[in-house]
Structure 1
Amino acid sequence: MNKQVIVYTTNDCIECTMVKQVLTQEGIPFEVRDISVNCAYQKEVEKFGFLGVPVTVVGNHAVKGFTNELKELIEIAKGI
């Protein structure tokens, strides 16, 4: 596994917590970027075409929310 995983989040976001839990359960290390702490992170989210969180990024792939697309992103992160 050589792809960096980034999760854009806020502290009070339930879906964000769920995404982080799944990544942890899958054994995937990730960096948390809280958009409420650093406005530059919100701009990064917007560059991926999203306004809200959670946004999970692996390489040049980005997924918003806690959806089936997240499973595909996990497979990419694992190198499957």
Structure 2
Amino acid sequence: MNKLVIVYTTKDCIECTMVKKVLTEEGIVFESRDVMANPEYQEEVEKYGFLGVPVTVVENRAVKGFTNELKDLIELAKN
């Protein structure tokens, strides 16, 4: 069973686009949440301890940005 994957993003965020592209290439289904369109999404990001985007969440684990930690989350999402 696939785990819920959420990517907190904004419309013109290049790094966000890169994260979503990698997830798509890896076959990971994800929900994209635009923090500029919904203030509640920004509050969710802040609960994970971040102010900016992209933030990718799998289960209760969150990673900020397009980093090597994202690979770990991808593996978590697949298992």
Q: 1: CA distance between counterparts of 2:33 and 2:77?
A: 18
TM (norm. structure 1) is: 0.97
Gaps of 5+ in 2: none
In the TM superposition, what whole-angstrom CA distance separates every residue of 1:24-60 from its partner, at most 9, and x where no partner exists?
0000000000000000000000000000000000000
Match of 1:61 in 2: 61
Deviation of the 1:2 alpha carbon = 2.3
Q: 1: CA distance between counterparts of 2:27 and 2:2?
A: 13
SS at 2:18's partner residue?
helix
Gaps of 5+ in 1: none
Give every structure 1 segment of 4 or more consecutive aligned residues whose post-TM-superposition deviation is greater than 6 Å.
none
Task: Report the AA paired with residue 16 of structure 1.
Answer: C
Match of 1:44 in 2: 44
Q: 1: CA distance between counterparts of 2:49 and 2:2?
A: 25
The alignment yields a C-alpha RMSD, in angstroms, of: 0.6
Kindly tell me the number of residue pairs found equivalent between the two proteins: 79
Alignment of 1:1-80 (within 5 A): 1-79=1-79
SS at 1:71's partner residue?
helix
Q: 2: CA distance between counterparts of 1:69 and 1:14?
A: 18
Q: 2: CA distance between counterparts of 1:57 and 1:13?
A: 17
TM (norm. structure 2) is: 0.98
